[in-house]
Structure 1
Amino acid sequence: MGGGNHILSKGHMVDGLYEVAFFIKKGRYAESYRVRDQKGHSRFLKLFHYPQLDRTQFDKQGNIVEIEVLKQVEHPNLVEYFDYGEVVLDSQKFAYVVLNFISGETLMDKLKREHTFNWYEANSIIKGVLNGLRYLHSLSSPVIHNDINHLNVMLDLTSKVAITKIIDFGYARYLEQSNLDFLKTGLNPFYQASETFNNVFSVQSDLFSIGALYYHLLEGLPPWFVDIPKYGLDQVKLENIVLEERRKPLRFTRVKDVATKSILRKALNSDTENRFKTASAFIEAMNGELLVEPLHATNGKKTKKKMSKKGKGFGAIAGMQPLKDMVQLDVIDALTQKERYASYGLTIPNGMLLYGPPGCGKTYFAERMAEEIGFDFYQIKPSDIQSKWVNASQENIKNLFEEARQHAPSLIFIDELDAVVPNRDDSGISHMNTSVVNEMLAQMNNCGEDGLFIVAATNRPLKIDPAILRSGRLDRVIYLPPPDLEARKKMFELYLEKRPREVGINFLKIAKATDKYVSSDIKFLCDEAARIALKSSARISEEILLKTIKANKPSINERELKSYLDIKAKMEGIKDNNSDRPRIGFKKD
């Protein structure tokens, strides 16, 4: 084994075929060396340490995807494959791939020296990268590179004219692979399309990276650049900062050409539908063969879109573990592991209905679910779609769903579903409302196939149109009861965690004192106790909490809770319900 921090040392023979000339660099799962083959030709060798490889880096046959991709590609703008094999070093198994050595420099090296490229140089380089990507995207099994940046593109200087080469395929995946097989750890967020933060990789995300590289070459910094050290190494925090920066218009300090600005804005558009569809279209635009309409400075968005928050997901929800487990298995896993579920003959869920007493956290649960699954979050309230004009409400619904489809995968949360989709058999419903219901049902039909998942909430489930509960619309019907003892205990701990409080509060005792209190009640009790403590400049104590509980009754009385149990029985088709505590339930088929 080699000295220092690397595995191989100078002069080491790999497989008896390649002599190590010198160490180049060490990565997260592999090391790179310059080697000489038996004919004395210089080669590039990448040594893979199996235990350090992520599961996503293997194909179904157990082969390393990077090596398999390199073995099949052959293009002047891609690094050239030469050989591969396996070796055992100190009783440890390694794989290696050998590539033709490139005499030149990376774009990063040139940027360090010259800071920016002139327009002619930048165009030539970007067209070379695009030609390489066009080849990858057009293979019989298309390959998404996923990691185009200034580090992974070299200028081959062996001839009079520099040739652009894409050199690293560590994050490359086949387009047909599940998004769960795409690895994003270690990627440069300034070169990543926003959707890849949620593990959505595509041809369009590759083209976004090309746009980011083009911008970097011309402007000297990646688009929407922020100083990373300010935010540490927290990946989620950095992604949030990048997303926030991308809400701002794309700024140009060096680029003056209007056509180039339009090309960059299109390539870097947050909406995949507004980006170039193919590498060929990108090249045509650069050649002036394709007219690119100038986009508005606000990144070409026509409507305001609520971005998904990169928060704690279900980790921010106290209790509700049975519900979280069920949603994880029956919904989230089904959405994120489509191929696996399909192999068992299980279909992708389309949506779910949450119903129960007010204040039990239906909206909060939907928001955290969007975070957990990594989908963009859209909320629809009755006021968002209702209009006094004929057909305007239907148009509003259509536009809302269309926007969500454009930014799929998306989670649409429909609040107060009974007001949005009232039962059409109700004698009090107007013709206009009937048209709205019809439009909503039409939009929801099998929308899971478009990358949409619907979460609807209502306090009055018997008032909604029953057609919405049919297969292909809301496939799961879930009762959200008041929190149980363990959930209440965790809620108090969560709400009081960062407030000044006395040590030793018996949260179990507090939880037992709040039976039949809903989630919003518990939040109110914590806020009220904090106000009382603040007035006397004291810490929140167990005594203050118990006094606050005694002074404030639960917002839902016994009669109302009983009525919800009756509703639950009707929704599930159960005539007898002997349980004192409501349970999470499914709609009976």
Structure 2
Amino acid sequence: MSSLNKAILEKGFVLSETYTVLLFIKKSNTAETYRAKGKDGNLYFLKLFYYGNLNRSAFDDQNNILETSFLKALRHENIVGYQDSGEIIIERKKYAFLILNFIAGEALADRITREPISTIYDLKGIAVDVLKGLSYLHNLEEPIIHNEITPQNIMLDMSTDIPQARLIDFGHARSFHQSSSSYNKTDLNLAYIAPECIMANAYSPQSDLFSVGAVMYHLLTGTPPWFKAVSKFQEDRSNAEDLLQKEREKPLLFPGKINEIIDFDESIIKIIKKALHPDLEFRFQSADEFMQALSGQIDVEDVDKIRVQKSEKSETEKKTLSTKPKGTGFDSIAGMSELKRLLTVDVINALKDPEKYKKYDVAFPNGILFYGPPRCGKTYFAKKFAEEVGYNYMYIKPSTLKSRYVNATQENIAKMFEEAEKNAPTIIFIDELNELLPNRDSDVHEMTKSAVNEMLAQMDRTGDKGIFIVGATNYPLMIDPAILGAGRLEKYFYIGPPDFELRKSLFEVYLKKKPLDFGIDYEKLAKMTENYVTGDIELLVNEAARFALTNNMRVTMDILEKTIKKQKPTVPLAELKKYEAMRRKFEGGDDDEKTNERTPIGFRR
């Protein structure tokens, strides 16, 4: 070993009079890893941190190393176990150390280099083990995002009859609610990280799920997805992000040799494509949903069709983004009476009668924000809001405006407002707002900051131009705070899972055109589906109808009940509690009465 790469600890070094160094394993910019033996006779991993090389983002508010803090609190069979930690001074320099339980096996990266995966059973087994660990992390009271799921950070424990995958290396892990300024991707392998992490420095549970899809693709094909771009990283690291994003615009290819893998079937391709979808809306919503797909409990739609539909839509949008919505507005939405009342008093009356507001010198509203868990109907409600107001309607996704080219995103934003003003009065609905307008105080690309600045400039006095902006997001705390205030998005409305009455109404709506047996108890169905989001109930009905179709029978109450028992909510209870906590923090209140309120959503028959 050269002096440049020489390990700090030599073989035989005794740490804290307890751990004897046996073997140097690897070295990074921030730490060294060793195999050590404890006084108890057991083997351990010893990780030695260089304090001077650690980024500020590696520490929590109490200046403790985040990786150590996280692992101290984690206990799960698919996550490496914590044993001990502390500090040590060597040659007048202070280091931190972390002792982890030894895993008798090898890294997944070493395994697939030595011997490729030969069966779909093995591939699914590894993926499910990783997803179990992620499900545990994502459903903690304060969810943790791993942020570095790669073959190098998945260890295969060979001490049991069936190898078990375990997650290691939490050096980039972050709390879900932690500022994205603490996300530093400079030394990450870009091949495995999600596009929103690259474009907006925004991480979420779905970012980890994207990485699992990338690992699965690697196991299946022998290379990471979009390998052409990945292989150029070393040649052109400075432009690696733009290069990868450009490559990811192309279809994901699967070589013919994968058909030779034992137990191969096309469903695994659909699952991987869904996991790697660039749009969070079409990606798996949770690790549990991902596992249900792998076990065959739910069918996965071919997202290539979605890509084609989106592409055709984009071509239309290039001609005009503005349309006149057709529909009955709020009359087609059951429930949500308090939300509709507030919107009517605070917003809709002003939009319909601006002269009256001017007469009383009341400030004209510029925009609002809908936020809450995924698949609860934010997009649908925004469209119904536009119908109720009677304005022209522009539906915008971040991908509609974002560009990898310098200044192009700003130009797209300016053109959007030009068209909105030309066709005024216009409602601009921007979905997944946090992706387009992340907090500029976070570690985001300068091009992204420029896009936020352009948006802020364009949003000034939009009401005077006949433009009203509606934003929607699952992650309101990640949006730049300057967007959320007077003169911009001034009011915030939480849209959560449907309540009892609305769940009952949803079942009536979705079952209305199905061939039904007698005796459907809608109240019982509603009671059985507490905490299920709107999209879940539609999925349940479709699954029950599919089973009835396969067996050439009517949809019965028994089929529906069995379907519900098999299908867990895609947004776990712990995740919903996280959103309630986010709601209190976002709206600046903590009283119990406010905490227990829920804005229901549903659809009239």
1:272 aligns with 2:280: yes
- In structure 2, do the counterparts of structure 1 residues 116 and 473 end up closer, same or farther at CA, with 3 Å as the change threshold? same
Pick the structure with more helix per residue: 2
What is the aligned partner in structure 2 of residue 114 from structure 1? 115
- Contact 2:58–2:182, Cα closer than 8 Å, also in 1: yes
Instruction: Write the distance in 2 (CA, Å) between the matches of 1:156 and 1:447.
Output: 36
Amino acid at match of 2:431: E
1:357-506 alignment to 2 at 5 Å? 378-381=413-416, 384-385=419-420, 394=426, 397-398=428-429, 401-402=430-431, 409=438, 411=451, 437=466, 440-443=467-470, 449=476, 471-472=487-488
1:187 aligns with 2:188: yes
1:292 aligns with 2:300: yes
Amino acid at match of 1:276: F
3-state secondary structure, aligned to 1:296: helix
1:149, distance to aligned residue in structure 2 (A)? 0.6
- In structure 2, do the counterparts of structure 1 residues 140 and 414 end up closer, same or farther at CA, with 3 Å as the change threshold? closer
Instruction: Write the distance in 1 (CA, Å) between the matches of 2:175 and 2:280.
Output: 19
What is the aligned partner in structure 2 of residue 244 from structure 1? 246
1:260 aligns with 2:268: yes
Amino acid at match of 2:178: Q
- In structure 2, do the counterparts of structure 1 residues 70 and 449 end up closer, same or farther at CA, with 3 Å as the change threshold? closer
Q: Rg: which structure is higher?
A: 1
- In structure 2, do the counterparts of structure 1 residues 102 and 369 end up closer, same or farther at CA, with 3 Å as the change threshold? closer
Amino acid at match of 2:204: S
Instruction: Write the distance in 2 (CA, Å) between the matches of 1:448 and 1:140.
Output: 16
| Bigger mean CA deviation after superposition, 241-250 or 293-302 | 293-302
1:217 aligns with 2:240: no
- Contact 2:437–2:479, Cα closer than 8 Å, also in 1: yes
Instruction: Write the distance in 1 (CA, Å) between the matches of 2:219 and 2:473.
Output: 44
- In structure 2, do the counterparts of structure 1 residues 379 and 289 end up closer, same or farther at CA, with 3 Å as the change threshold? farther
Instruction: Write the distance in 2 (CA, Å) between the matches of 1:93 and 1:275.
Output: 44
3-state secondary structure, aligned to 1:165: strand
3-state secondary structure, aligned to 2:111: helix
1:335-354 alignment to 2 at 5 Å? none
- In structure 2, do the counterparts of structure 1 residues 386 and 105 end up closer, same or farther at CA, with 3 Å as the change threshold? same
- Contact 2:470–2:489, Cα closer than 8 Å, also in 1: no
Gaps of 5+ in 1: 307-365, 425-436, 457-468, 475-589
3-state secondary structure, aligned to 1:443: strand
What is the aligned partner in structure 2 of residue 78 from structure 1? 79
What is the aligned partner in structure 1 of residue 337 from structure 2? none
1:159, distance to aligned residue in structure 2 (A)? 1.5
Instruction: Write the distance in 2 (CA, Å) between the matches of 1:175 and 1:415.
Output: 26
- Contact 2:191–2:230, Cα closer than 8 Å, also in 1: no
Instruction: Write the distance in 2 (CA, Å) between the matches of 1:7 and 1:150.
Output: 26
Q: Which digits, 9 at most, give the CA deviation of each residue in 1:61-106, with x for residues without a partner? A: 0100000111111111111111111111111111111111111111
- In structure 2, do the counterparts of structure 1 residues 289 and 56 end up closer, same or farther at CA, with 3 Å as the change threshold? same
1:182, distance to aligned residue in structure 2 (A)? 1.4
Q: Which of the pair has the greater relative contact order for Cα pairs under 8 Å at 6+ separation?
A: 2
1:516-555 alignment to 2 at 5 Å? none
- Contact 1:445–1:473, Cα closer than 8 Å, also in 2: no
Instruction: Write the distance in 2 (CA, Å) between the matches of 1:32 and 1:383.
Output: 56
What is the aligned partner in structure 2 of residue 33 from structure 1? 34
Instruction: Write the distance in 2 (CA, Å) between the matches of 1:269 and 1:368.
Output: 18
What is the aligned partner in structure 2 of residue 361 from structure 1? none
1:126 aligns with 2:127: yes
- Contact 2:155–2:165, Cα closer than 8 Å, also in 1: yes
- Contact 1:45–1:96, Cα closer than 8 Å, also in 2: yes
- In structure 2, do the counterparts of structure 1 residues 448 and 39 end up closer, same or farther at CA, with 3 Å as the change threshold? closer
- Contact 2:229–2:243, Cα closer than 8 Å, also in 1: no
Instruction: Write the distance in 1 (CA, Å) between the matches of 2:187 and 2:211.
Output: 15
- Contact 1:370–1:376, Cα closer than 8 Å, also in 2: no
Instruction: Write the distance in 2 (CA, Å) between the matches of 1:445 and 1:112.
Output: 44
What is the aligned partner in structure 2 of residue 281 from structure 1? 289
TM-score, normalising length: structure 2: 0.56
- In structure 2, do the counterparts of structure 1 residues 144 and 216 end up closer, same or farther at CA, with 3 Å as the change threshold? same
Instruction: Write the distance in 1 (CA, Å) between the matches of 2:475 and 2:108.
Output: 42
1:89-168 alignment to 2 at 5 Å? 89-168=90-169
Amino acid at match of 1:107: L
What is the aligned partner in structure 2 of residue 500 from structure 1? none
- Contact 1:249–1:297, Cα closer than 8 Å, also in 2: no
Q: Which digits, 9 at most, give the CA deviation of each residue in 1:155-174, with x for residues without a partner? A: 10012111111121111111
What is the aligned partner in structure 1 of residue 179 from structure 2? 178
- In structure 2, do the counterparts of structure 1 residues 383 and 87 end up closer, same or farther at CA, with 3 Å as the change threshold? closer
3-state secondary structure, aligned to 2:36: strand
- Contact 2:433–2:473, Cα closer than 8 Å, also in 1: no
1:455, distance to aligned residue in structure 2 (A)? 11
What is the aligned partner in structure 1 of residue 603 from structure 2? none
Amino acid at match of 1:226: K
Sequence identity (%): 34
- Contact 1:250–1:299, Cα closer than 8 Å, also in 2: no
Q: Which digits, 9 at most, give the CA deviation of each residue in 1:310-362, with x for residues without a partner? A: xxxxxxxxxxxxxxxxxxxxxxxxxxxxxxxxxxxxxxxxxxxxxxxxxxxxx
- Contact 1:34–1:42, Cα closer than 8 Å, also in 2: yes
- Contact 1:414–1:454, Cα closer than 8 Å, also in 2: no
What is the aligned partner in structure 2 of residue 581 from structure 1? none
1:264, distance to aligned residue in structure 2 (A)? 1.2
1:452, distance to aligned residue in structure 2 (A)? 6.4
Instruction: Write the distance in 2 (CA, Å) between the matches of 1:77 and 1:271.
Output: 28
- Contact 2:36–2:43, Cα closer than 8 Å, also in 1: yes
Instruction: Write the distance in 1 (CA, Å) between the matches of 2:251 and 2:83.
Output: 45
Q: Which digits, 9 at most, give the CA deviation of each residue in 1:13-49, with x for residues without a partner? A: 1111111111111111110111111122211100111
- In structure 2, do the counterparts of structure 1 residues 231 and 158 end up closer, same or farther at CA, with 3 Å as the change threshold? closer
Instruction: Write the distance in 2 (CA, Å) between the matches of 1:6 and 1:92.
Output: 14
3-state secondary structure, aligned to 2:9: coil
1:61 aligns with 2:96: no
- In structure 2, do the counterparts of structure 1 residues 289 and 379 end up closer, same or farther at CA, with 3 Å as the change threshold? farther
3-state secondary structure, aligned to 1:136: helix
1:5, distance to aligned residue in structure 2 (A)? 1.0
Instruction: Write the distance in 1 (CA, Å) between the matches of 2:168 and 2:437.
Output: 31
Instruction: Write the distance in 2 (CA, Å) between the matches of 1:54 and 1:112.
Output: 31
Instruction: Write the distance in 2 (CA, Å) between the matches of 1:87 and 1:378.
Output: 53
Q: How many residues align?
A: 382
Q: Which digits, 9 at most, give the CA deviation of each residue in 1:530-549, with x for residues without a partner? A: xxxxxxxxxxxxxxxxxxxx
What is the aligned partner in structure 1 of residue 208 from structure 2? 206
1:386, distance to aligned residue in structure 2 (A)? 8.1
- Contact 1:272–1:407, Cα closer than 8 Å, also in 2: no
Amino acid at match of 1:443: V
- Contact 1:408–1:450, Cα closer than 8 Å, also in 2: no
3-state secondary structure, aligned to 1:31: strand
